Structures are given as structure tokens and as C-alpha cells.
Chain A
């Protein structure tokens, strides 16, 4: 069964205190790993797609990396506006439909205090 596990569940940082969020996955035939940001009361917002081990992508203070078993979202010198829930998802096949779906982790709630 395809699974995505995110840790920690919640993380509190002081402004400027860098850290990393973890996403470990088990999926047969990974087609892509996605990171999303979700603000309270809103839908998830796409951040990154990673396809192969060793790949890295950056956006402002965020950098996502991928290995064969996990992905990390590194947050450098975070600001209070980075506070949100960060979701990881893997692209997996829906065997009966021939299509693909995203399987989501439960997310990491990040709070950055000023």
C-alpha cells in the first residue's frame, strides 16, 4: 500500500531559526513527489515537484530535496509568514482506472514566532 509519512506533526521555530521537515514514502514506481503549502481555511497551494533522487528545487526560503526513500523541505531563516501546514504527496498509479492519483501525508504544521 502506498504510504506517505510526515514528521514532525508540528514544529515551532523562532524567526530566523532554520530547520527541516521530513517526508518518507513507500510507493511502487514513484512518478513524482510534491510539496504543498496550506494556510488555514484554504486549499493546498503547489510548491514543488521532484522526480528523481538527488534532485533539488528552491523557492525563496524553501528548498526541497529528494532521496530514494524520503524528501526534505528545508526552511532557511524563516519568517512568520512562512507559518502554514506543509503537505507532501506522492504520485501513484490507480491500477483499476489506469490513471494516477496523489497520496498525501498528514502534514507538518509550522509556526514561526517573531
Chain B
């Protein structure tokens, strides 16, 4: 099925550990995004990539890094995980004309203990 694939679906980290969340889309979209979703906070943009080879910060970038590996893949890295990064992370993609909105992945539920 066409869409956005995220791995892993669940992860538990200890404080200070690092990990990379993977995201791939097969819709030939130019733009890709990483959001986090927390209870009572809604979806907040972490980083985005308007096109292959470019990345920019969103609202809450501290503690994260990203890599747009190619047009299909956009990864999110936590270098030293903190309990405040416990959240559900969503990757999304969109074509240049966003009339049909973003297509979201199914999310990664991350717990940092």
C-alpha cells in the first residue's frame, strides 16, 4: 500500500541513550515532516524538509537532529534521550500542492525512562 512507513512502532529508551526513528514514503512527495504529539499539546512540528537535500527547524527542534537521506527517506535522531522526549512521533509527507493535506505514518510511541 502506498503511504508513509515508520519504524519502529514502539521503543523504550533509558535516559541518555540514542536512537534513530526511520520514515519512508513511496508517493514521490517533495516535502517531509516530523511531528510529536503529546496529551493536551496537539501535534507540534519538530523538523521539516521541503525537498531532498534541505532540512529546517520547526517549533520544537531542541534535542533532535534529522537527515533527508534521499527523496523517500527522512530520519529523526535523538542523540541523548530525555524523559521530556517521551511522546508519539509522526512522520508526514506532502506534494508541493498541499490541497490533499499531509499523509501521515502510523507513528512511533517512544518512552524514555
> Could you tell me if A43 and B42 are in contact, using CB atoms closer than 8 angstroms?
no
Contacts of B92 in A (CB 8 A): 43
Interface size on B, residues (CB 8 A): 26
Once A32-B98, A43-B107, A49-B99 are accepted as A-B contacts, the answer to whether A104 and B42 lie under 8 Å apart by CB is yes
Q: A43-B4, A43-B92, A99-B48 are in contact. List 18 more A-B contacts (CB 8 A).
A: A34-B101, A41-B106, A43-B104, A43-B107, A44-B102, A44-B104, A46-B103, A49-B101, A94-B56, A96-B56, A99-B31, A101-B33, A102-B45, A104-B35, A104-B42, A104-B44, A106-B42, A107-B42
A42: Cβ under 8 A from any B Cβ: yes
Interface size on A, residues (CB 8 A): 25
Q: Scan residues 85-111 of chain B and give those whose CB is less than 8 A from a CB of chain A.
A: 90, 92, 98-107
Once A42-B106, A43-B90, A49-B99 are accepted as A-B contacts, the answer to whether A97 and B50 lie under 8 Å apart by CB is yes
> Could you tell me if B56 and A36 are in contact, using CB atoms closer than 8 angstroms?
no
| Binary interface encoding of chain A residues 76-105 relative to chain B, with 1 for a CB under 8 A from any of its CBs, else 0 | 000000000001010100101111111011
Chain B positions within 8 Å of A, measured between CB atoms, are 4, 31, 33, 35, 40-45, 48, 50, 56, 58, 90, 92, 98-107
Closest to B109 in A: A41
30 interchain pairs (CB within 8 A)?
A32-B98, A34-B101, A41-B106, A41-B107, A42-B106, A43-B90, A43-B92, A43-B104, A43-B107, A44-B90, A44-B104, A45-B104, A46-B101, A49-B99, A87-B42, A94-B56, A96-B56, A97-B48, A99-B56, A100-B98, A101-B33, A101-B45, A101-B48, A102-B102, A104-B42, A104-B43, A105-B42, A106-B40, A106-B41, A107-B42
In the bound assembly, the distance between CA atoms of A43 and B31 in angstroms comes to 17
